[in-house]
Amino acid sequence: MKRIKSFFVAAAVLAVIPAMAQKSIPLVYDQEFAGSKYPAPAFPSVDEAKVTETLPNPFEFSNSKKQVKKFKDWEKRRAEIVRELQHYEIGEKPMIDKKDIEASLENNTLTVKVTRNGETLELSARITYPEGDGPFPLMIGASNNALPRQFFSERKIAQMNFSERQVNSYSQMGGFGGGERKDGRGTYAFDKLYPELVDNGAYSEWAWGVSRLIDGLEIVGAASKIDLKHIGITGCSYAGKMALWSGALDERIALTIAQEPGGGGAAAWRVSQTLGNVENLGNTDNHWFKISMWDWKEDNVSKLPYDHHELCALVCPRALLVLGNTDFEWLADEAGYVSCVAAREVWKKFGIEDRMGFSIEGKHGHCQLPQSQYPEVEAFIDRFLLGKDVDTNNVLHVNDVLQDKEVQKWIPWAQTGFK
């Protein structure tokens, strides 16, 4: 398919918020969840929820007609979306006091021990350092880093992989049917700490594990030689989802690069439901999500009070780059495209749309970044991990998999039109 470049933002829109205002919006935070102080919204059941055929308006507060007007409103609205995604989809990502965490760094290996409920969960992750004294930016690989390693080694960026099996197995359920649980939920390391969260999906627990590694880096402090204001995360395929969920739910992550995350990641459930043989809400890996999420499949998808454009938007105001691959139908990149365009409206609202980009290409293997996408990925790394003055505003590339007019129908609440 022909590769085209789409530009959705008119020059006049870029000038709405002055440069000084853009600079006042943080690139990263020093806490995991700044919105934890806000109460959860009401959670309607399937029978109570109203039908919304288009993607829900991310600026509209839950259970209210009030809308986000200024950036200071976003923290509260973001907290609502976090609660909804956890309640309906992945289960609770519990907060934990650092007094219950021990961390050490020896032979370039970070060890984190979390104690709760009389049980201790241990995480270990080897850090690969560049030459020099640091502090260095860090790229965390969700399970693994599928991006070219020279992107980081040539830039003096440290690297570390998160081993998700230390928290919960890739196949935590082992089987599913008739409400019966087989060889799965409740039997892994996380479950020993939190037996009351037996219904959790794996993505809440994996995101929890990533956050505990960041806790460990904070506890170790300067000895880690890591610049805590420049931490990134990336992963591909199921680990692309893991990277997106981790970046969405931990505000200490400055850059999230979700590579080919597919359904359950960037792709909007509502759009995926209209496509062919793709990963959609009723056709994905059960163990990654709460069992109750399947109450919303098929005819009930349009009743979800959120969709995955809002999962992407949780990264705002931090940086997000989504990479797609149109050669694999299963990835539902048509739905990923719509979701990314919709999510970018949130960054655009605050005049920081250059912190969110997407690039959807074909003609390459799964999790094998083509050279045509190298400059886009490198630009985001240079700007958001190294602090370089790089233009990232026009990283908006997409194959002709979906016409812009079809995107528009999904987001009638958007403030600007499309070319």
Q: Does residue 25 sit within a domain?
A: yes
Cβ atoms of 395 and 377 within 8 Å: the answer is no
Task: Name the H helices within 221-286.
Answer: 238-249, 269-272
The answer to whether residue 416 is domain-embedded is: no
Q: Is residue 140 part of a domain?
A: yes
* pLDDT value at residue 186: 79
Total residue count of the chain as it appears in this document: 419
pLDDT for 419: 39
Q: 339 lies in a domain?
A: yes
CA distances from 55 to 44, 99, 143, 310, 375 (A): 17, 41, 31, 9, 31
State the maximum Cα–Cα separation within the chain, in Å, rounded to a whole number. Answer: 59
> How do residues 31-57 score in pLDDT, each as one tens digit?
999 999 999 999 999 999 999 999 999
Q: How many domains does the chain have?
A: 1
The amino acid at residue 159 is: Q
pTM for this predicted structure:
0.92
3-state secondary structure of 78: helix
Judge whether 321 and 357 are in contact, CB under 8 Å: yes
Residues with a catalytic annotation lie at 237, 366
Instruction: Judge whether 382 lies within some domain.
Output: yes
Please state the rounded mean pLDDT for residues 166-194: 68
Within a domain: 51: yes
The dihedrals phi and psi of 4, each to the nearest 5 degrees, come to -125, 155
* 318 located within any domain: yes
Kindly state whether residue 418 falls inside one of the protein's structural domains.
no
- Tell me the pLDDT tens digit for each residue of 93-149: 999 999 999 999 999 999 999 999 899 999 999 999 999 999 999 999 999 999 999
When mean pLDDT is compared across 105-114, 365-374, 398-407, the lowest value belongs to: 398-407
Range of the domain at 320: 3-410
Q: What is the CATH number of the domain that holds 155?
A: 3.40.50.1820
Task: Give the mean model confidence (pLDDT) for residues 412-416.
Answer: 82
Six token digits for residue 205 = 């627990």
DSSP assigned state of 142: E
CA angle at residue 122 from 118 to 127, to 5 degrees? 155
Q: How far apart are CA 1 and CA 262, in angstroms?
A: 19
Inter-CA distances, 107 with 138, 338, 341, Å: 17, 45, 44
In the prediction, which pLDDT does 174 show? 45
DSSP summary character for residue 40: P
Provide the CB-side half-sphere exposure for 190 (13 A, CA): 30
Residue 258, SS3? Answer: strand
Task: Give pLDDT, residue 298.
Answer: 80
Check pLDDT > 80 for residue 400.
no
